[in-house]
């Protein structure tokens, strides 16, 4: 039991260290190689980032999170990773409530893109994307398994998987 708490503390310390280093770094703008040169490249990056974040979310939740120990929720802890990547690569991440209650008001759909993403993802599609204004946006489905439902869908009538979403936004190189 102690090793679980220790592991979560270590992850938290590492996340705080990454954030501290980012704050101390001089912002020289986004390195040219960090900006996708095409929609296809942005899509490939977004898919890789989505799969990484979903896997990390489920693994951390399954292996380290215990509801009765007053620990930070894995999705909240991962937000510090989002911030670190955002500062270095100008990628933006945002959790999106799709099926079930939002765990935070920030997770509610507010833009037309987000509202359409909720409609598409709740219909069973894996992703919804948009290109415009020099940006690639992808909302990907995050599976809420039965362990997730006690918080995300507290008044459920079944334990069938539900969906949440993760929006990843990447800048596009001018002219792509």
The reply to whether 77 falls in a domain is yes
Contact (CB, 8 A) for 15 and 77: yes
Residue 74 has pLDDT above 80, yes or no: no
The reply to whether 35 falls in a domain is yes
The reply to whether 176 falls in a domain is no
Residue 100 has pLDDT above 90, yes or no: no
The reply to whether 142 falls in a domain is yes
The reply to whether 10 falls in a domain is yes
Domain housing 58: 2-171
Question: Could you report the per-residue pLDDT of 49-62, keeping only the tens digit for each?
Answer: 999 999 988 887 77
**Beta strands of the chain (E only): which ranges?**
92-97, 127-132, 135-144, 162-171
The upper half-sphere exposure of residue 140, i.e. CA atoms within 13 Å in the direction of its Cβ, equals 19
pTM: 0.76
The reply to whether 70 falls in a domain is yes
Q: Where are the alpha helices (DSSP H) in 68-145?
A: 74-89, 112-122
Query: Domain total for the chain?
Result: 1
pLDDT band at 97 (very low <50, low <70, confident <90, very high): confident
Sheet strands side by side (includes 92-97): 92-97, 162-171, 135-144, 127-132
pLDDT of residue 22: 44
């Amino acid at each position: 039991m102690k090793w679980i708490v220790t592991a979560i503390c270590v992850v938290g310390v590492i996340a705080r260290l990454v954030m501290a280093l980012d704050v101390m770094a001089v912002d020289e703008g986004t390195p040219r190689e960090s900006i996708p040169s095409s929609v296809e490249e942005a899509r490939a990056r977004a898919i890789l980032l989505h799969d990484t974040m979903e896997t990390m979310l489920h693994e951390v939740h399954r292996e380290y999170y215990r509801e009765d120990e007053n620990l930070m929720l894995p999705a909240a802890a991962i937000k510090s990773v989002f911030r670190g990547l955002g500062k270095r690569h100008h990628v933006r991440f945002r959790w999106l409530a799709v099926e079930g209650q939002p765990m935070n008001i920030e997770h509610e759909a507010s833009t037309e893109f987000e509202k359409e993403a909720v409609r598409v993802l709740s219909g069973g599609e894996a992703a919804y994307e948009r290109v415009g204004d020099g940006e690639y946006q992808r909302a990907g489905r995050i599976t809420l398994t039965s362990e997730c439902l006690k918080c995300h869908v507290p008044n459920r009538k079944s334990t069938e998987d539900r969906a949440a979403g993760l929006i990843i936004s990447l800048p596009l190189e001018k002219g792509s």
